[in-house]
Amino acid sequence: MLRKRIPKQDDGILYGLVEKLLLPFARQTVPDLRVSRTDILKRLKSCVTYVDTAAGRLPVGFIALRVDRDKRLSVDMLAVNPKFQSRGIGARLMRRAERTAGERGCREVVLWVDEANTQAQTFYVRKGYDTVHYDARLRCYMMMKRLG
C-alpha cells in the first residue's frame, strides 16, 4: 500500500535505506562523503515523499519527489529494501511519481542515477526513461520521461 511519509514513524527506516542502498554509489565518486541523518531528513522534508508498506505498516520502499522551477517533477530519491525488490514496488512508486507529475501540471519526470548503479538504469529504461545528460564530475546520468 502506498501512503505519504509519516516522519516520526518512517524516517529511521528511510534513512537506513538511503545509507544502505544509495550512499554507497555516491561514495564511489566521493569516497569521503559525509551525509548525516539530519541532511537526509532535510531532503525528505523538502520533498513530497511516498512510502510503500507492502509488508504491513512499515515502509519497504520510498520515493521522494519535488517540482522544479521549470515545472518538471524530479525524483530526488528512490529506494526499495532488497528483500522486497522485483515485486513491483519500485514500479508502483514510479507510477505514483508520474501521477503526481500530472496532478502538478508537469510534463516531464527527471532523475539522476549513478553511473555504477546499472540495476537502477535498467529499471528506469524499462519504465520508459531516456538518458539525456551525463555529468562526468558526478559520474551520474540524468534520465527523463516526457508525459502525455
As beta bridge partners, residue 63 has 50, 78
Whether the model pTM is above 0.75: yes
Considering just the CA atoms, what is the radius of gyration of the chain in Å? 15
C-alpha cell at 75: 525524483
Query: Among all chains, which residue has been given the C-alpha cell 500530472?
Result: 102
Residue whose C-alpha is closest to residue 110's, from 133, 79, 135: 133
Domains in the chain and their CATH numbers? Answer: 2-146 (3.40.630.30)
User: pLDDT tens, position by position, for the chain (148 residues)?
Assistant: 999 999 999 999 999 999 999 999 989 888 888 989 999 999 999 999 999 998 788 899 999 999 988 889 999 999 999 999 999 999 999 999 999 999 999 999 999 999 999 999 999 999 999 999 999 999 999 999 999 8
